[in-house]
Each structure stands twice: as structure tokens, then as C-alpha cells.
């Protein structure tokens, strides 16, 4: 194999490895089944605690999408 082929294969492996690493380390946590979380299913209620500037605000890297139930399941 010539050097360019080796280089391209190495870069492809690095890319795949990076994507797998990101996917494994960015799982969406389940919504706890405690009193705070069973009271309401309304995203507006969720945001009263998890919204920007609120006491349990989501991190800066959180996806910009407020339809919580499309991504988060309830823990059982
Ligand atoms: C009364 C305040 C409050 C409300 C309302 C609330 N949460 Fe939470 N939530 C918390 C607290 C406190 C925690 C645990 C500590 C933390 O992770 O910040 C938590 C944890 C979570 C977690 C797990 C975080 C982790 O890292 O494991 C998710 C997911 C979540 N909430 C989603 C929701 C959704 C969706 C709603 C709306 C149905 C909601 N929350 C409503 C206060 C609230
Ligand atoms: C597009 C999918 C998606 C939607 C919609 C979504 N989340 Fe998340 N959420 C995630 C992912 C992915 C993570 C893990 C982020 C990480 O580990 O970097 C997460 C993490 C969290 C956490 C843990 C703290 C953090 O920021 O990592 C809380 C709390 C949370 N989400 C609450 C909510 C609430 C409340 C809503 C609705 C207002 C919501 N999420 C909507 C995908 C989503």
C-alpha cells in the first residue's frame, strides 16, 4: 500500500472512532419517576426547572429542542 492509502484509511478509522465515542458518551438520561417529574408532562413545566437560568438548567450543549418526550423516556 502506498502512503496516501494508509493516510486515508487512518483518517477514516479516526472519524469512525470519534463518532462511536461521542455516541456512547452522550446518552440521553431518563426522566426520573419522582414527584417533581410525575406532576406534569407539559414541557413548559419541565422548563420551569430545566430552562435557561433556572436552578437545574440543561447544559449549554443540550440540543436546542423543547419537545422533551421525543428524546427522553420516563424511568420505570
Ligand atoms: C420541580 C423542578 C423540576 C421539574 C418540574 C422537572 N424536573 Fe427534571 N430534574 C429536576 C431535578 C432536581 C433533577 C435531578 C438533578 C439534576 O440532574 O439536575 C432532575 C433530573 C432530570 C433528568 C435526569 C438528568 C440526569 O442527568 O440524569 C431529566 C432527563 C429530566 N429531569 C427531565 C425533565 C422533564 C422532561 C421534565 C418535564 C416532564 C422535568 N424534568 C421536570 C427538577 C425538575
Ligand atoms: C433532541 C433530543 C432531546 C430533546 C428534545 C430534549 N433532550 Fe434533554 N438531553 C438530550 C441528550 C442527548 C442529553 C445528554 C446530553 C449530553 O450528555 O451531552 C440530554 C440531557 C438532558 C438533561 C441532563 C443535563 C444535561 O444538559 O446534560 C436534562 C435535565 C434534560 N436533558 C432535560 C430535558 C428537558 C426538560 C427537555 C424538554 C424541555 C429536553 N431535555 C429535551 C436530548 C434531548
User: What domain range includes position 27?
Assistant: 3-70
Q: Which ligand is nearest to the CA of 70?
A: 2
Domain presence at residue 14: yes
Strand partners, 74: 31
**Could you identify the atom of ligand 1 that is nearest to the CA of residue 48?**
5
Q: Report pLDDT digits (tens) over 27-64.
A: 999 999 999 999 999 999 999 999 999 999 999 989 99
Q: What are phi and psi of 31, to 5 degrees?
A: -75, 120
- The set of protein residues with a Cβ atom below 6 angstroms from ligand 2 is 26, 28-29, 43, 46-47, 50, 58-59, 61-63, 65-68, 70-72
Which residue's CA is the closest to the ligand 2 atom numbered 40?
68
Query: Is 75 inside any structural domain?
Result: no
Nearest-10 Cα torsion for 52, 54, 55, 57:
-20
Q: Which of 24, 22, 30, 23 is nearest to 69 (CA)?
A: 30
Question: Does the reported pTM lie above 0.85?
Answer: yes
Domain count, the chain: 1
Amino acid at each position: 500500500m502506498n502512503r496516501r492509502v494508509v493516510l486515508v484509511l487512518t483518517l477514516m478509522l479516526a472519524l469512525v472512532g470519534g463518532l462511536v465515542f461521542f455516541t456512547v458518551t452522550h446518552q440521553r438520561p431518563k426522566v426520573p419517576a419522582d414527584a417533581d417529574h410525575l406532576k406534569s408532562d407539559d414541557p413548559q413545566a419541565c422548563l420551569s426547572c430545566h430552562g435557561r437560568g433556572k436552578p437545574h438548567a440543561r447544559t449549554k450543549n443540550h440540543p436546542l429542542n423543547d419537545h422533551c418526550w421525543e428524546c427522553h423516556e420516563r424511568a420505570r
